[in-house]
Amino acid sequence: MKVHILGCYAATPRTLTNPTAQVLEIKNHLFLIDCGEGTQVELRRQKIRFSRINHIFISHLHGDHFFGLPGLVASFRLLGRQKALHIYGPKGLKEAITLLLKLGNSWTNYPLLFHELVEDQPVTLYEDEVVSVDTIPLDHRIYTNGFLFREKPSPRKLNVEATRKYRIPKEYFQLIKQGNNYELEDGTLISNRELTLDPPAPMSYAYCSDTAFNPRIVPQISGVQVLYHESTFLRTEHQLALKTGHSTAAEAAEIARQAGVAHLILGHYSTRYRDIEKFRQEAQTVFPEVLLAEDGKSFEF
């Protein structure tokens, strides 16, 4: 599982920083999460192929999270896209994007499918045989969702040494991988667990931006491998965080601690801070496994 950070700052773009956007690479899927200004430039800079992006998830309708979407939709058209593009986001997103297409007489020549959200409880947005995506209801100034990405468990792997030990013919291997036991000629039953190995633990990624401190999400994200949680402010600006519906680094770390996640990635920093290392230092007073998002940085788990 890889997380590619395209932008991780709050509010306005700057010459050296971009507003929020990232790509999650999981089970051969590339999911674009939020789409602030400059997203398609960063996609090119990180050599991420546009054609592999078929699903875009927009957390909320503040500009630093979706103002890059109209341009990306238009670029897909200019690049000759034919595959359907699915966009998931709050009600109103379709109206905003299609109005621009209408006024510019630039309708896409590929299926553009909007999945608008109004639910205040978790819902499954996407599911196939290897991965699922659910919403995480957040607490912000406007209707906002995070997103929970989960791999589905892989089949157990064949224990080659065990098959040799019991001289099991190759034609039975597929049945064993499907969960069957094996009976020897003398009637002894060899359990499937002895003939197979545990698969890697399924990976999971929870994206939570933007939100005030919200312990209600803890049961849903409990035990995830990686949590991306906004940390717009430091403790010194706690009152500003309360006023604007954002979190401090310490509050993000407290969510990670309560949820028992393996890794916490901080992001969505206010541009008032020159040194983002202070966010790590504050968070580590609560939770040790802290990573800092930075524009252009990728994490592999």
Mean pLDDT estimate for the chain: 96
Task: Provide the terminal-to-terminal Cα distance of the chain, rounded to the nearest Å.
Answer: 5
pLDDT at 264: 98
pLDDT at 102: 96
Asked if residue 123 has pLDDT above 90, the reply is yes
User: 178 falls in which pLDDT band (50, 70, 90)?
Assistant: confident
* Residues 148, 150: Cα–Cα separation, whole Å: 7
* Residues 227, 206: Cα–Cα separation, whole Å: 5
Share of the chain above pLDDT 70, in %: 100
pLDDT at 177: 87
The verdict on whether residue 139 carries a ligand-binding annotation is no
Crossing angle of helices 69-78/93-103, nearest 10°?
A: 50
CB 127 within 8 A of CB 135: no
The verdict on whether residue 198 carries a ligand-binding annotation is no
Residues 281-288, mean pLDDT to the nearest whole number: 98
Residue 64 annotated in active site = yes
List, for residues 125-139, the tens digit of each pLDDT value. Answer: 999 999 999 999 999
* Residues 100, 26: Cα–Cα separation, whole Å: 32
The verdict on whether residue 65 carries a ligand-binding annotation is yes
User: 156 falls in which pLDDT band (50, 70, 90)?
Assistant: confident
3-state DSSP call for residue 268? coil
pLDDT at 250: 98
From the candidates 64, 134, 186, 275, give the one annotated as an active-site residue: 64
Asked if residue 285 has pLDDT above 90, the reply is yes
List, for residues 45-101, the tens digit of each pLDDT value. Answer: 999 999 999 999 999 999 999 999 999 999 999 999 999 999 999 999 999 999 999
List, for residues 189-237, the tens digit of each pLDDT value. Answer: 999 999 999 888 899 999 999 999 999 999 999 999 999 999 999 999 9
Asked if residue 124 has pLDDT above 90, the reply is yes
Q: Where are the domains of the chain?
A: 2-154+200-300, 157-197
User: 154 falls in which pLDDT band (50, 70, 90)?
Assistant: confident
The verdict on whether residue 120 carries a ligand-binding annotation is no
- Min mean pLDDT across 8-17, 19-28, 145-154, 228-237 is at 8-17
How would you label 2-17 residue by residue, b for 16+ Cβ within 10 Å and e otherwise?
ebbbbbbbbbebeeeb
Asked if residue 155 has pLDDT above 90, the reply is no
Asked if residue 10 has pLDDT above 90, the reply is yes
| Alpha-carbon torsion angle 29, 297, 10, 253, nearest 10 | 90
CB 38 within 8 A of CB 68: yes
pLDDT at 12: 87
Question: What superfamily does domain 2-154+200-300 belong to in CATH?
Answer: Ribonuclease Z/Hydroxyacylglutathione hydrolase-like (3.60.15.10)
The verdict on whether residue 29 carries a ligand-binding annotation is no
* Residues 189, 77: Cα–Cα separation, whole Å: 59
User: 141 falls in which pLDDT band (50, 70, 90)?
Assistant: very high
* Residues 252, 280: Cα–Cα separation, whole Å: 11
The verdict on whether residue 268 carries a ligand-binding annotation is yes
The verdict on whether residue 64 carries a ligand-binding annotation is yes
